[in-house]
Structure 1
Amino acid sequence: MRRNVFPTACILLMASGLCGDGWAQMPPRAAVQIHPGAQDGEGAPYRRQAWLVPTQDERTPAYAWLFRPPGAGPFRVALIAHASTQNEIRRVQMPQPDYPALVAALVTRGFAVVIPQRLGHGATGGAYVEDQGDCAGPDYRRAGLVTADAIWRALTFIRAQPFAKKEGAVVIGHSAGGWGALALADRSPREIAAIIAFAPGRGGRADDRAGQVCAPERLIATAANFGRQARVPVHWLVAENDSYFPPSLSKQMADAFRATGRDRVSFAVLPSFGSDGHGFAEAASASELGRLLDMELNDAAPKTKRR
């Protein structure tokens, strides 16, 4: 049975041009099946294919891009967890995330890559279930755990596909997606081999002011909580000029994670990138990202370093 589950918010905003155009490259909701799985044929680049993957709301699966190397596999799986915003209009407008250079770096290294757009964002629509609350009293732990649950549901579904290996998955998170990835560090290393977090956190750039973070002490405390049962190696990366989570705060969070997490985290400050290093994961070149992947995925000894 087919049904139109295209988000109402986008329908209302289409005429004014406010709905982001990333979804336009996906099959329209009226043309897809409600059940998770592939929604169209493969295309370029890297066998790109539109999928729906499960979410916390069985009525609202998430739009996702899937990319694969040539052949039948099985391939290791890499899931990219996108950034977010507390601004409702910006969330509705969010284009379908695609991280093209990061995808290229991963696929050429033999990974199948899935990028789901979580509930409450862009074309996926639905309720914004990972809301952290207001700036004065954010619940960063809850927001991270809900994001982690969304990541885990999508990853579990993709790992069950015939083209996917069941072990050795990598979760790569950006900003709020990285924060959710940190909350998965307690999983079995057989299920998740590594977590790479680009500028993980929530509540950054408060009131759109660079370097202003809502309740930073709560971020640090929650990082310690996430690290307490850590089993998966975590690679924490932040650019020198990140305007959301400056290196000084990021290091405090990573140190708190490490202190309770049996030294399962490495921390690196990357050189300044563009006008705001927070966009490194989205805008860096495939060669830059590939070099980082090679270092981080082959770097078994957690340590603090500066590159």
Structure 2
Amino acid sequence: MHAYLYRPPGDGPFPLAVINHGSDEDRARRARVAMPSFPALAAWLVARGYAVLLPQRPGHGITGGRYLEGQGACGHPDFQRAGLAAASSIESAVDFMQAQKFIEPGGIVIVGNSAGGWAALALASRNPAGVAAVVDFSGGRGGRDRNKAYNNCAPDKLVAAAAAYGRTARIPTLWLYAENDTYFAPELSRRMVDAFVAAGGDAEYRLLPAVRGDGHALALTAGREASWKAPLKAFLDSLVRKQRQD
């Protein structure tokens, strides 16, 4: 996998944050996708002392190769399998970074947007060693079926897959969604997190006010960080306090 790495000054070791991009079922669009950047989010995390990795998963952009995380036809999608396949790619990146001398082996934060957020939740279901928390921005699969706003191709299956992840996930998770997310409307994102928690998962859900443009791009571009900074800071601060107590 190709990746960008940003790190604070000095030799470390630094805690690691891994930011994971979305996806597209269309092969041509996947091939053209740029390397992930998340400028505001990456800069904010680096300023807090994290080394930040932004991997590009197989089947996308210059990483290329076989697409591993397809959800299948919308008539019979397998959202659970799609998320777990993407999670395997993320886990490979984490394993590589844990072997680097400038990275702390624990306290890792996995962040994801859209399909990347869904993959981060899937990874939480595996409770990998060293991963301390997951942050899901606008996560899910099957959104905007036939490019129609608020039209998920199989919402009940998405909720069921969230429950499946929650049955084994024991890592704290933060779910951040905007009111005007046209891929995963508030009603659907609430159903997902409720199913995740009811099954045993540990989740904090924040529905954020509408942002400029489509709220699904909450984490993608500069200018929207005012909406997510406070809840993300509070979540990470609580994580640090827990680590110190342990």
**TM-score class, shorter:** over 0.9
Deviates more, 1:279-288 or 1:98-107: 279-288
Q: Which runs of 5+ in 2 are unaligned?
A: 240-246
Aligned match of 2:206? 268
Determine if contact 1:104/1:286 at 8 Å carries over to the other structure: no
Aligned match of 1:44? none
* Aligned mate of 2:177, from 238, 258, 273: 238
Aligned match of 2:103? 164
1:106 to 2:35 alignment: no
1:203 to 2:203 alignment: no
Q: Which runs of 5+ in 1 are unaligned?
A: 1-61, 301-307
1:226 and 1:248 mapped to 2: Cα distance?
19
Q: CA deviation at 1:197?
A: 0.1
Aligned match of 2:62? 123
1:268 aligns to what SS in structure 2?
Answer: strand
2:225 and 2:210 mapped to 1: Cα distance?
17
1:193 and 1:186 mapped to 2: Cα distance?
12
Aligned match of 1:48? none
2:127 and 2:142 mapped to 1: Cα distance?
29
2:123 aligns to what SS in structure 1?
Answer: coil
Q: CA deviation at 1:94?
A: 0.3
Deviation digits for residues 137-168 of structure 1 (CA, Å, limit 9, x no counterpart): 10111101101101110011012101100000
2:112 aligns to what SS in structure 1?
Answer: strand
Letter in 2 for 1:275: G
1:90 aligns to what SS in structure 2?
Answer: helix
Aligned match of 2:125? 186
> TM-score, with normalisation over the residues of structure 2?
0.93
1:206 and 1:155 mapped to 2: Cα distance?
32
1:250 and 1:121 mapped to 2: Cα distance?
26
Q: CA deviation at 1:272?
A: 0.4
1:280 to 2:205 alignment: no
Determine if contact 1:102/1:286 at 8 Å carries over to the other structure: no
Aligned match of 2:187? 248
Query: Which has the larger helix fraction?
Result: 2
2:219 and 2:231 mapped to 1: Cα distance?
11
Aligned match of 2:165? 226
Question: 5 Å matches for 1:13-32?
Answer: none
1:257 to 2:191 alignment: no
Larger Rg: 1
Letter in 1 for 2:38: Y
Aligned match of 2:88? 149
Aligned match of 1:73? 12
1:69 and 1:190 mapped to 2: Cα distance?
24
Letter in 1 for 2:216: H
Q: Which has the higher contact order (CA 8 A, sep 6+)?
A: 2
Letter in 2 for 1:273: V
Percent identity of equivalent pairs: 48
1:93 to 2:32 alignment: yes
1:197 aligns to what SS in structure 2?
Answer: strand
1:242 aligns to what SS in structure 2?
Answer: coil
Deviation digits for residues 267-289 of structure 1 (CA, Å, limit 9, x no counterpart): 11011011200011011448524
1:167 and 1:126 mapped to 2: Cα distance?
30
Determine if contact 2:218/2:224 at 8 Å carries over to the other structure: no
1:239 and 1:73 mapped to 2: Cα distance?
35
